[in-house]
Amino acid sequence: MIDPYGRKIEYMRVSVTDRCDLRCRYCMPKGINRLPSADILTFEEIAEVCAAAASLGIKYIRLTGGEPLARLGIEKLAAMIKNIDGIERLTMTTNGVTLERKLPELIAAGLDGVNISLDTLDRDMYKSITGFDCLEAVLKSIDAACEMGIKVKINAVVLKETLGGVMDIVSLARDRNIDVRFIEMMPIGEGAAFESISCDRVMEIIKDSYPNIKSTETSDGRGPARYYHIDGFAGNIGFIDAVHNSFCKSCNRIRLTSTGFLKPCLCYGDGVDLRDKFRNGSSAEVKAAIEKAVAMKPEGHCFADKGSVSERRDMFRIGG
């Protein structure tokens, strides 16, 4: 599918649940109401959307949430999606808390890579950001994923209080082929109340220790990160500067919420309700609705101007 600005749309992020075992301050508000189960797509429905999307040219699927591992039987969904004709790559974004024990089944189901969210290596700070004392479990999951040979990326959202720990996060890429990516806070949901620290500021900190850090002059071809390399490091350092340096020209993605709403852009509330199409319509209608969402894709986001952000869902309901 080609959108109105000539971009090839090949990647769909799929949120499988609005539930999560953590409460990151910038993502999940306190006292939220969980959506009724009947509103959440079943595995069969998610697979149906993925199959329709694959027939229209989607090649990469990323499972997200909420916390995707909080959805019981997620490995079954992974296998269903990986077996769809045209799906070349299946990955997951997870907080990593329960990943270690679920990895063998996920890899057997065909998972190709995992992005683990980790903003700090300081145990107390981790607890203060996420609400839970789970840093050890996440670190074990990272070790296990590396040992099992699956591609690992670390996503670290940059907060004022984590700036002092930037080099700890960088060190994760030293000895293992882990790509570490720093992400600017986006003004979506709870995140709107936080300062968005620029990736340039993070780069300055890294340059104090590694002045020869060099651009790899590539993204990984599938996402918005700009990658850099430090001599002697096994992995790369990436920057996702969503707010201070728009990456929209190369945007290749659409997003499916756990209730079946297809979003053409993270920043705006617009999109198409697919759930109604497959609960009360035909597969032709599902395909037409996916094409409609792609045709609605705006040229770019407006994160630099908080007042223009029209998305009212919280990040845990979209999937990041």
22 binds ligand SF4 per the rule CB under 6 A:
yes
* Contact present, 312 and 257 (Cβ < 8 Å): no
Distance CA(260)–CA(40), nearest Å, equals: 7
Among the listed residues 14, 65, 121, 313, the single contact to ligand SF4 using CB under 6 A: 65
Asked if 95 interacts with ligand SAM (CB under 6 A), we say yes
Cα separation, 294 vs 263, in Å, equals 9
Among 1, 9, 14, 24, binds ligand SF4 (CB under 6 A): 24
Give the separation between CA 125 and CA 135, rounded to whole angstroms.
Answer: 10
Q: Which helix (H) or strand (E) holds 163?
A: none
Residues 177-216, one symbol each (x = binds ligand SAM by CB under 6 A, - = not), give: ------x-xx-x--x-------------------------
Burial class (CB in 10 A: 0-12, 13-18, 19+), 247: middle
From the list ligand SF4, ligand SAM, none, partner contacted by residue 183 (C-beta under 5 to 8 A by kind): ligand SAM
Q: How far is the CB of 314 from ligand SF4 (least distance, A)?
A: 8
Report the length, in residues, of the chain: 320
Decide whether 91 or 93 has the Cβ nearer to ligand SAM.
93
- Quick note: the x/- pattern for ligand SF4 over 288-317, rule CB under 6 A, is ----------------------------x-
Which of the choices ligand SF4, ligand SAM, none does residue 64 contact, using the CB cut-off of 5 to 8 A by kind? ligand SAM
Whole-angstrom distance, CA of residue 189 vs CA of residue 46: 25
Q: Contact 197/163 with Cβ under 8 angstroms? A: yes
Exactly one of 27, 206, 266, 290 binds ligand SAM (CB under 6 A); that residue is 27
Question: Among ligand SAM, ligand SF4, none, what does residue 23 contact (CB within 5–8 Å per kind)?
Answer: ligand SF4
Kindly state the helix (H) or strand (E) to which residue 152 belongs, with its residue range. Answer: strand 151-157
Closer to ligand SAM by CB, 84 or 267: give it: 267
Site size for ligand SAM (CB under 6 A)? 21
Question: 154 near 178, Cβ under 8 Å?
Answer: yes
Site for ligand SF4 contains 75 (CB under 6 A)? no
Between CA 160 and CA 107, with CA 127 as vertex, the angle to 5 degrees is 100
The SS3 call for residue 108 is helix
Q: How far from 208 is each of 167, 211, 212, 254, CA to CA, in Å?
A: 10, 6, 10, 37
Both structure tokens of 151: 């591609």
Stretch that binds ligand SF4, among 24-32, 173-181, 197-205, 282-290 (CB under 6 A): 24-32
Applying CB under 6 A, does 172 fall inside the site for ligand SAM? no
Identify residue 20 by its one-letter amino acid code. Answer: C
Q: Is 28 in the site for ligand SF4 (CB under 6 A)?
A: yes
Q: How far apart are CA 22 and CA 177, in angstroms?
A: 27
Q: Distance between CA 240 and CA 243 in Å, rounded?
A: 9
Q: Which of 23, 82, 127, 229 binds ligand SF4 (CB under 6 A)?
A: 23
> Distance (Å, rounded) from C-alpha 68 to C-alpha 59?
20
Stretch that binds ligand SAM, among 64-72, 214-222, 225-233, 304-312 (CB under 6 A): 64-72
From residue 116 to residue 155, the character string flagging contacts with ligand SAM as x (rule: CB under 6 A) and all else as - is: -x-------------------------------------x
Residues in contact with ligand SF4 by CB under 6 A are 20, 22-24, 27-28, 65-67, 95, 117, 316
